[in-house]
Amino acid sequence: MSLMRALSSTTVPLAHGLHMPLFGLGTSHRGGYCHEAIVYALTECGVRHIDTAKRYGCEEELGKAIRESGIPRSDLWITNKLWPGDYGHTAAKMACLDSCSHMGLDYFDLYLMHWPESLQPGCSNRKVRAETWRALEELYEEGVCHSIGVSNFMVSHLEQLLEDCSVVPHVNQVEYHPFQQPHELIDYCRQKGIVCEGYSPLAKGQVLSNPTILQIAEKYRRTPSQICIRWSIQNGVVTIPKSTKKNRIKENCQVFDFQLEAADMLALRELHDGRHVSWDPTNIE
């Protein structure tokens, strides 16, 4: 199977029937966006899934790159995220429509609440999450968001949301790499029909020098990055490595023509030590 075909055809079904590409390209703030790299990923590598957020400050540029690629909108999966500063029913709906406008899009394939904590002083996080989620439910019903979900939500946050609202999140995007494997959270999500998506699959570069990962990479004649991305995908987790370098993007995409043996999957599972390389939502109520 060619690289382009693998990237477009390897998907995971969501609870409402849509199929989400298992591999995507992440973006970020602080230098985490490169126009040429996005166009290259779309046109030369066959990437069809792009993840971004209002917080990253690259919506307009990303919209231009998507148009420049010439890829039909219907062939793409675009995820955007709602920043807590825009939480609340009215603000959330307005922020989503503004993000669509900035990107030149009529809809998002997936729209996520970015973080479980509200930035509204004196307000209950649970109450604000519920109000915001109801806005996302309306955006979903109106077709502005074809799927809706959350990011960085722990089991406690999901339990509350399911009690307060009617639509179960389609996706929960969390930090996921060999050093951070939230097994309890993933098991809970799967029981509820929520697909897990993992960001920072390379632990911001910390995996690249790990002896176990280096040994496995040598065995398969692959790079440490490819081993960790393959491990994540093989665990059924939607995976969105980010890079602004063309050669790294191509390298990260080339993970569909080999499979890790059970013993190596186990060795990587045993690397979990609980560290976070990004935000830690554990203690947010």
**Structural domain includes residue 149:** yes
pLDDT digits (tens, 9 = 90+) for 102-125: 999 999 999 999 999 998 888 899
- Is 276 annotated to bind a ligand? Reply is no
The answer as to whether 281 is a domain residue is no
Q: Give the residue numbers spanning the domain of 75.
A: 3-269
Annotated active-site positions, please? 56
Residue 284 falls within a domain, yes or no?
A: no
Residue ranges, the chain, pLDDT below 50: none
Q: Are 242 and 263 in contact (CB under 8 A)?
A: no
CATH number of domain containing 246: 3.20.20.100
Give Cα 211 distance to the centre of its chain: 27
- Residue 217 placed within a domain: yes
User: For position 2, what pLDDT does the model report?
Assistant: 64
Q: Please tell me the total count of domains within the chain.
A: 1
- Beta-carbon contacts of 139 under 8 Å, excluding residues fewer than 6 positions away, are 93, 96, 111, 145, 148
Residue 103 falls inside a structural domain: yes
| Stated pTM of the model | 0.96
In a domain, 153, yes or no: yes
First to last CA, the chain: 46
Give a yes or no: residue 233 inside a domain: yes
C-alpha 4/C-alpha 273 separation (Å) is 35
Domain-embedded: residue 278: no
